[in-house]
Structure 1
Amino acid sequence: MTQRADTLLIACGALGREIAALKRANGWTMLAVRCLPAELHNRPERIAPAVRAEIRANRDGYSKIFVVYGDCGTGGRLDAVLREEGVERLPGAHCYEFLATPQVFAQFADAEPGTFYLTDFLLRHYERLVVRSLGLDRHPELAAEYFRNYRKLVYLAQTERPEAVERARQIADSLGFTFEYRYTGYGELGTRLRTLVTSQDTLAWQA
């Protein structure tokens, strides 16, 4: 008999493939996952209301709900919503920190605050989420304004693929950035999810 999922993860779509892979690899049938559109990152003021709506739409169907988002540019508004709803989230500023680990991400940020990050997801969807979303396909001259505070591109890779590294390097070159590659795998995302699955104590999520 198939085990019914009793825990819901409300996640950013940018992490959907990684969460699905971890769920399959570990046989986490007790987890259900609902992903919100990654495009919300272009309008971070919409993230907290969207998460609240998802919590309320699914609260009666699950014994536990957790949110797999960082603050993601909401300026604390997401945390305010989660306090009101009594739901926890994965600690961290955004998915780059989950994947790189807080320590490694802090090193990157300290070394060059003006760093533009790519993950496997952002690399796959760069044309849609960056180029077309920002209108750079129609007005490439706007890139200088959008990226004027950036100096470096760091590719945080979840998989090891030489062709992906080359594509990320090409993007860095097109923007005039220096380039660095770092293989992260699933970073702390996998560690935190394993803690959640194996513990009945919700506070273990933040251990």
Structure 2
Amino acid sequence: MSKAQHRVDVGRNVVRSGEGTLISAVHDHIVGTDGQTVAVLGFNLQDAPVPDRRYAADFVSVLYKRDVIKLIFGQEKLGVNSIRSLVVIAMHTGDTRNFVTSLATIQNPNFDEIVRQAGIVTIPSLRIIEEEPEQTIALTANFVATAMAGRAACMDFYSASAFAMAEMAKLQKLAVDPVVRIDLSIANLAALRDELIKLIPSFPLDTPGVAA
């Protein structure tokens, strides 16, 4: 007589191999761009590795389509008014909102004070992209870590897969992969921030998410 086979489902308590670096979750409350206090699950990206890929941006642009924000960073050719290359980073609207909110939480000095202290008088206009160059790379990201010093700024982009996000509640940690580091001017970062603030009212309503 054959023995009955019993199936045992073991609950997963680790992320899949190769999902990325685990960073700890922190529960916090932040004030959104609309002035309301929102409970969020945040993550300290200081624990995440620095992206290996680096890109120096001369200009920025933004494209909003189908509930996805595309942050566009570009380099100009020398001597002519044309584009050498582009890096296009797609972020969902909820992740973009969290990024803008994280800039709003900078204090003593705040973001706008940092811009003024850097001597930025005029915020540059976003570049109009009529045609993308052959050297264009498209990436995705969920989180952004930002730093500013003098007139320079740095944006480190990170991505967490749907698998990693699904395990987040159980682990209270999130596995993230470094995507790319963008070096740009504070003036261009301010232009990016200002455009995103204009777009946020048109974003779909999201349930409280995570913030970097």
Interval containing the TM-score (normalised by the shorter chain): under 0.3
User: What is the TM-score with the length of structure 1 in the denominator?
Assistant: 0.21
Q: Which has the higher strand share?
A: 2
User: What is the TM-score with the length of structure 2 in the denominator?
Assistant: 0.20
Q: Which has the higher helix share?
A: 1
- Max Rg structure: 2
